[in-house]
Amino acid sequence: MAEMRAKMAATREKRHAEWLHASDTLRRDPRLLAYYQMSATEGQNLPNESVTDAAQVGEAAIVAAAHVADRWGTPGCTLDFSPTGSRVRVNVPGEHHALTLMPWVKINSLVRLYNSLFLTEGHDLGEPHWQIMDDGRLFFSVKSRESIKGKSDKHVFYSPVIWNPSLSGQWVMIATVYDPDGKRVTHYPNGKPVSSEAIPGEYLADRVSIGAASIGNWSEPAYRKGPEFAVRNLNGSMDEFFLFNAALTASEIARIYESGKP
């Protein structure tokens, strides 16, 4: 038994070293706006690990989240968003044409109607919202117009169910790609596309703005009535968060997953 544990530990250490090499290449990708490793730093801030010209995004601030083991088993090296009020606050300036959002998550349970992954503070024109519904479907939207009586201000792109209680406590890499050129939104669990939906013409937003936003929660839900809308912190952990200002391809996302799985 001890020999088996030692072999498993050696394999994981080797995989971790391979991922560190791959992530070093990724942080130099000219499309990478932000890369947060979620490890604790002095002053409760997370540096943006992207070193590209596109990276105009600064440090992120940790609020209330607890420090726990990352997906490699290293203690204190990632964040648990289960404590009330937990979030990582970021500010992403400028306008962007396309987006790819990609973290590793370990979900304990989906106890809320909406479980936040990445939400802008409000929901103004051009702003994206990304979360998981209580039934395990991914939810992505970009507000594309002002509300009109009888018509929504956005189209919501749902994935099929990508999480159920059998996955509780397991690390999963999820990604969503917003591609205005291809006019599609595609959802990926563990490097595999599970849905690719056409963006209806009337809901196509050619430019996306983020500004102030929260990873793992929603910062300004006060105008919403009822806890099903107001409380959105993720009941689980997040290990690394990538934000690209481009639509990554299926092969690129699969390669990142294969490089990064423990």
pLDDT per residue as tens, the chain (262 positions): 776 676 766 778 899 999 999 999 999 999 999 999 998 665 678 999 998 766 678 899 999 999 999 999 999 999 999 998 899 999 999 999 999 999 999 999 998 899 999 999 877 888 999 999 999 999 999 998 766 666 788 899 999 999 999 999 999 999 999 999 999 999 999 999 999 999 999 999 999 999 999 999 987 654 555 555 667 889 999 999 999 999 999 999 999 999 999 9
Number of domains the chain is built from = 1
pLDDT number for residue 150: 61
Kindly give, in sequence order, each residue whose CB lies less than 8 Å from that of residue 208, ignoring residues fewer than 6 positions away: 95, 96, 97, 98, 99, 126, 127, 128, 142, 178
Range of the domain at 175: 2-260
Instruction: Name beta bridge partners: 100.
Output: 177, 244
- The predicted pLDDT at position 246 comes to 97
pLDDT, position 250: 98
Q: Give me the pLDDT at residue 206, please.
A: 92
Report d(CA 191, CA 126) in Å as an integer.
Answer: 27
Distance CA 166, CA 156 (A): 26
Q: Name the packing angle between helices 2-26 and 250-260 (round to 10°).
A: 140
- Which residue has tokens 């791959």? 22
The predicted pLDDT at position 116 comes to: 95
pLDDT at 7: 72
Report the CATH number that the domain containing residue 241 is assigned in CATH: 2.60.120.200
Cβ atoms of 104 and 172 within 8 Å: the answer is yes
The residue whose two tokens read 């990445």 is: 118
Please tell me the predicted confidence (pLDDT) of residue 167.
Answer: 96
* Cα gap 112→134, rounded to integer Å: 6
pTM for this structure?
A: 0.92
Could you give the strand order of the β-sheet that contains 87-96, starting from the edge strand earlier in sequence? 45-46, 60-63, 87-96, 208-215, 114-120, 128-133, 137-142, 157-161
Question: Other C-beta atoms within 10 Å of 21: how many?
Answer: 9
In angstroms, the CA 16 to CA 5 distance is: 16
Q: Alpha-carbon distance 33 to 100, whole Å?
A: 10
